[in-house]
Amino acid sequence: MKRLFLLRHGEASFSADLDFDRTLTPKGKGKVSHVAARLNELAPEIGKVYCSPAQRTKETANIVAERVLIKNQEYVRSIYDGDLQDLMDILENTPQDFNEVLIVGHNPLISLFAANLSDGEYLNMQPGDLIYIEFPLDSWKLITFGSGVLCEVIS
């Protein structure tokens, strides 16, 4: 079984000149810490984390790493400015020995990805929300839109 966790970055300030450089607010940091504690209960160890290179997602991933053992982390630009197929390509190319994957990204793409993978409705993830999806499959290459089971929404 493959398990995917999709995390929208925490609440970010609007003080930076560029969207890419926005940082988390104290409230955003607190919520991410709370969500990371629940993630630790579900998966105390994550094999692979894919993270947007934007400042607010990097900060979000760092907070998660304080609570969850992260074995391998990679920054992927297409999580910031890509589309659904870019995210699917990331999953399909994930090494098979990683059974738990976390993607830290942005709306609307992260919410749209969750809805398409689980063949569910669009949930409009709020900042710091986490969605947990299971795939009854042995390989990331076998994942298709609609093949996942939405297990939990954590906020």
Note the pLDDT of residue 122. 86
pLDDT of residue 86: 98
Q: Mean pLDDT over residues 33-52, rounded?
A: 97
Q: Which residues pair with 147 in a beta bridge?
A: none
pLDDT of residue 92: 95
Residue 21 pLDDT: 94
For all residues of the chain together, what is the average pLDDT? Answer: 96
pLDDT at residue 121 in the model: 80
CA dihedral 100→102→107→108, nearest 10 degrees, is -30
E strands, 40-147, in order: 45-46, 48-51, 69-70, 73-75, 100-105, 130-135
Residue matched to tokens 């994930």: 94
What's the confidence (pLDDT) of residue 155?
92
pLDDT at 67: 97
107 neighbors 124 (Cβ within 8 angstroms): yes
What's the rounded mean pLDDT across residues 26-40? 97
Give the residue-averaged pLDDT of 36-47.
Answer: 97
Overall pTM > 0.75: yes
> At residue 120, does pLDDT exceed 80?
no
